[in-house]
Structure 1
Amino acid sequence: MAEKSFKYVILGGGVSAGYAAREFAKQGVKPGELAIISKEAVAPYERPALSKAYLFPEGTARLPGFHVCVGSGGERLLPEWYKEKGIELILSTEIVKADIASKTLLSATGLIFKYQILVIATGSTVLRLTDFGVEGADAKNIFYLREIDDADKLVEAIKAKKNGKAVVVGGGYIGLELSAALKINNIDVSMVYPEPWCMPRLFTADIAAFYEGYYANKGIKIIKGTVAVGFTTNADGEVKEVKLKDGRTLEADIVVVGVGGRPLISLFKGQFAENKGGIKTDDFFRTSADDVYAVGDVATFPMKLYREMRRVEHVDHARKSAEQAVKTIMATEGGKTVTGYDYLPYFYSRAFDLSWQFYGDNVGDTVLFGDNDPASATHKFGTYWIKDGKVVGVFLESGTPEENKAIAKVARVQPSVESLDVLKNEGLSFASKI
């Protein structure tokens, strides 16, 4: 069996891998010391583009345009960059076994990789309806979106089913962003989700009412409180209808499913301490095994701001946690120290001409400010979350860069507030004066 050895190995080829590679290069990694092993066929790229501009009929995003680290305003790391830095990109390679005790990874084709220090950046995998035994869920033209191959297949289907009908299963990030992208492609869109409103993990009923109204005004049909329980197909095996639990049947040429994901940690079962579905780490992303770090979606880490262990699935954390781990690795080797990770939760989305940002924690009482009428010309509104007399989270639609900075500061500082009425009256000006 062929065997390769590296000082450092990053397992996974997503956003975290690219930002970790950049940090390794900044810290002076030597040629030949670092390898990235990825089952994808392309160098690390900014995954959020796949649910946005990648699907647009005009102004379309394509590689090499969105390789990391352009998503945070940094240099674009083309495949040549890795070569120049002496970083080995091992693509189209699936690892099927990881033995932490012997510091060995085994690929599906029998290649053995040895490492001294491992960074686990395997990310998440999507939940599939076939996992739940949904009838007909293996039909053609039922799509999931996680990797660039998935996006390519969806783009082909959009072209093939011009002016057709799509059913989007799920009302979270993927559901909202892909419904918008499909509508922009002149596809007739229906969204189906079981919850009482969209994005229930983050949105309040008031926030969701704006987006549901806005999408309805764009011609997107929203069907709440039910789920897809089966699919029928045509003679070619392509999806034809979606059967709903409430008895309704929807015509569909394309189905897109976004019902969540799970961290990819099965390779490491029983080899680490786990917590909340992820690999337990400290605030430097060190795991319970020596010389092994876990970053991005797979890490459950101490969130200092809230004094509890959390796992975060978001591109911002994927970038920052990767940089933190590499800084720690290189500082430790040099006998130096770095400060621990002190993360402020941050989420954002863009769809149509809308753009929202959220910082902090969505717990406690809420105060809606601004105008959340879906027909409003400005679209500017937001929400504060208040716990124990302090503002702990802020959401803002259509904020300027300065306003978004202001709400981030509020979520970090957690200022006290006299009363909910005062906060409602002051609205965004409360954030601007902190």
Structure 2
Amino acid sequence: MASSFNFVIGSAKFIFAPIERCLNCKRNFDENMKVLQKLLKELNTVKEVIELRLSAEIHGGTMQTEEVKNWLDDVQRIKTEIEIIECKAKEKKFLSRVFLGKMVEEKVVELKAFLRKGKAFLGMVKSFKYIIVGGGVAAGYAAREFDRQGLKPGQLAIISKEAVAPYERPTLSKGYLNPNPKAAARLPEFHVCVGSGGDRLLPDWYKEKGIQLILGTEIVKVNLALKTLVEGADAKNMFYLRELEDADKLVESIKMKKYGKAVIIGGGYIGLEVAAAMSINDFDVTMVYPDPWCMPRLFTPTMAAFYESYYENKGIKIIKGTVSVGFNANANGEVKGVKLKDGRVLEADIVVVGVGARPLTALFKGQLEEDKGGIKTDGFFKTSMPGVYAVGDVATFPIKLYNEMRRVEHVDHARKSAKHAVKAIKANETGKELEEYDYLPYFYSRTFELSWQFYGDNVGETLFFRDDNPLSPKPKFGSYWIKDGKIVGAFLEGGTPEENKAIAKVSRLNPPLENLDQLKKEGLSFASKF
């Protein structure tokens, strides 16, 4: 009886032992699949970082690209194999999952090896503590401030689409188009930071400071979470004046088309400045813009009337209230005419389109919070993502003076916001206190013998003062903007440095007014009292 019982027990062990092993394999399979999926997710992240950094070419040349390419191919292979395993596992067949167990264990080991190798590749890629995307005015001023804040060599890189170190961009529509070769502005003359009275930062300065200039590189994709970047209907003689290369091409065309006809599309900053420059270069100039007067974002009708009359006295024709709808070109692809919406066709040897530009925020869509067409920041230019700052015209920031968020398109703000952002970065690292950015909006322009400055806010009622006769040898006039009984902004044409400082001060102080007639009578002298 006992022997029979032992036989039964032994038989049961013989029968159930494989079943138990199968059950253990099944449990191990489920656990290993979870591990496999976790490793695969991590591997995909490493793969994406390597691909992004390779595309951006932000490395010191030490990465063996052929080996990396083979690694990327192998990663794609193993991903396909894992997808097959996952499909079979979803069939929910017990034995199928059991037999896959060994394969999953092997893939776990393989994935771990691939991860180690991928992370080793990342170690070969040179990275930077700070990266400035864009090589405009703000980039140069930020670099100078980083240096002042104790930047160490190798910590900072500037990535720019242009092939030259940062320069003072306003020069392109002013001195760069001067017809006198001896007086025309050329690099290295206007590298930053000469625009604010500082030293000129030549390319060698960046090299001496250990700042890497990655030039001629357009960023076409950004992954802020991974902190990685990817590089990325015109006719001849048609120009958009946004970069040095544009200005160089325009200068060459001016030489080739001497005494020709130029059509300037747009009546804003660029339009007015380029129209003046083309007139000085002996071109027959026509300006076209859809607005009822030039510079409508700032000028009042009275102010605009002066400048339009002044330009017309210089021989510049102005067509308002219509837009260009197309262009005529010859067999060589050179623009020969501009078609207007009202049916007219203007002869043209050169066309300059100066209709403004949108801030380049598309790279960061869905990654950073936006507001009013720009990237939203706080008073230190911090964005919604830690460690990422936005400065210049892409930033929508709080203006303390008016208690509202704004985006400012001007070189003065580009310089000052870059400087403040760097101070904020270093203050955050050292735990020091820093006041929020307290900016007074400021704009200026110089054309022909004219030169104006504006400070503050152009809202509310306006009060025009002084001489506005366009035939005056040195016209001087201005305007105050008054809101809620206070001066909030001031404009002055032809002012001295002291007078310009006076209108800046009165625009910041916002003094209350008791008598508008008295203000009109005093004009500029009212600001000088402050």
How high is the TM-score relative to the length of structure 1?
0.93
Does the alignment pair 1:249 with 2:345?
A: yes
Does the alignment pair 1:70 with 2:194?
A: yes
- Equivalent AA in structure 2 for residue 81 of structure 1: W
The aligned counterpart of 1:303 is 399
Q: Could you tell me the percent identity over the aligned residues? A: 74
Q: Structure 2 CA distance, aligned partners of 1:396 and 1:217?
A: 21
Q: Structure 2 CA distance, aligned partners of 1:233 and 1:93?
A: 32
Aligned match of 1:143 in 233, 239, 250? 239
Does the alignment pair 1:95 with 2:219?
A: yes
The aligned counterpart of 2:155 is 33
Q: Structure 2 CA distance, aligned partners of 1:39 and 1:240?
A: 30
> Per-residue deviation at 1:200?
0.3
- Over residues 335-376 of structure 1, what are the superposed CA-to-partner deviations in whole Å (9 max), with x where a residue is unaligned? 111100010000000000100000000001111101111111
The aligned counterpart of 2:357 is 261
The aligned counterpart of 2:470 is 374
The aligned counterpart of 1:346 is 442
The aligned counterpart of 1:290 is 386
- Structure whose alpha-carbon radius of gyration is higher: 2
The aligned counterpart of 1:124 is none
The aligned counterpart of 1:48 is 170
Aligned match of 1:197 in 293, 303, 312? 293
What SS does structure 2 have at the residue aligned with 1:294?
Answer: coil
Q: Structure 2 CA distance, aligned partners of 1:40 and 1:74?
A: 22
Q: Which runs of 5+ in 2 are unaligned?
A: 1-53, 60-124
Counting only pairs closer than 5 Å after superposition, residues 354-369 of structure 1 correspond to structure 2 as 354-369=450-465
The aligned counterpart of 2:20 is none
The aligned counterpart of 2:9 is none
Aligned match of 2:270 in 174, 183, 188? 174
Aligned match of 1:158 in 251, 254, 258? 254
Does the alignment pair 1:234 with 2:358?
A: no
> Per-residue deviation at 1:285?
0.1
Bigger relative contact order (CA 8 A; separation at least 6): 1
The aligned counterpart of 2:184 is 60
> Per-residue deviation at 1:67?
0.2
The total of aligned residue pairs comes to 406
- Over residues 160-218 of structure 1, what are the superposed CA-to-partner deviations in whole Å (9 max), with x where a residue is unaligned? 00000000000000000000000000000000111110000000001001100000000
Hey, which of these two has a bigger chunk of helix by percent?
A: 2
- Equivalent AA in structure 2 for residue 56 of structure 1: N
The aligned counterpart of 2:409 is 313
What SS does structure 1 have at the residue aligned with 2:298?
Answer: coil
- Over residues 89-108 of structure 1, what are the superposed CA-to-partner deviations in whole Å (9 max), with x where a residue is unaligned? 11111122211111111223
- Equivalent AA in structure 1 for residue 510 of structure 2: Q
> Per-residue deviation at 1:420?
2.2
> Per-residue deviation at 1:332?
1.2
Aligned match of 2:519 in 413, 423, 428? 423
What SS does structure 2 have at the residue aligned with 1:305?
Answer: coil
Q: Structure 2 CA distance, aligned partners of 1:180 and 1:14?
A: 24
What SS does structure 1 have at the residue aligned with 2:358?
Answer: strand
> Per-residue deviation at 1:144?
0.5
How high is the TM-score relative to the length of structure 2?
0.76
> Per-residue deviation at 1:66?
0.2
- Over residues 260-280 of structure 1, what are the superposed CA-to-partner deviations in whole Å (9 max), with x where a residue is unaligned? 110001111000110001000
What SS does structure 2 have at the residue aligned with 1:5?
Answer: coil
Q: Structure 2 CA distance, aligned partners of 1:378 and 1:150?
A: 33
Aligned match of 2:491 in 390, 395, 405? 395
Task: Kindly report the root-mean-square deviation, in angstroms, between the aligned alpha carbons of the 2 structures.
Answer: 0.8
Q: Structure 2 CA distance, aligned partners of 1:140 and 1:45?
A: 26
The aligned counterpart of 2:305 is 209
Aligned match of 2:507 in 403, 411, 420? 411
- Equivalent AA in structure 2 for residue 157 of structure 1: S
Q: Which runs of 5+ in 1 are unaligned?
A: 109-129, 131-137
Q: Structure 2 CA distance, aligned partners of 1:252 and 1:378?
A: 32
> Per-residue deviation at 1:36?
0.7
- Structure 1 stretch 376-385 or stretch 275-284: which is displaced more? 376-385
- Equivalent AA in structure 2 for residue 54 of structure 1: Y
Q: Structure 2 CA distance, aligned partners of 1:253 and 1:411?
A: 44
- Equivalent AA in structure 2 for residue 166 of structure 1: A
- Over residues 73-132 of structure 1, what are the superposed CA-to-partner deviations in whole Å (9 max), with x where a residue is unaligned? 000000000111111111111122211111111223xxxxxxxxxxxxxxxxxxxxx4xx
- Structure 1 stretch 43-52 or stretch 85-94: which is displaced more? 85-94
The aligned counterpart of 2:206 is 82
- Equivalent AA in structure 1 for residue 147 of structure 2: A
Runs of 4+ deviating beyond 4 Å: none
What SS does structure 2 have at the residue aligned with 1:17?
Answer: helix
Hey, which of these two has a bigger chunk of strand by percent?
A: 1
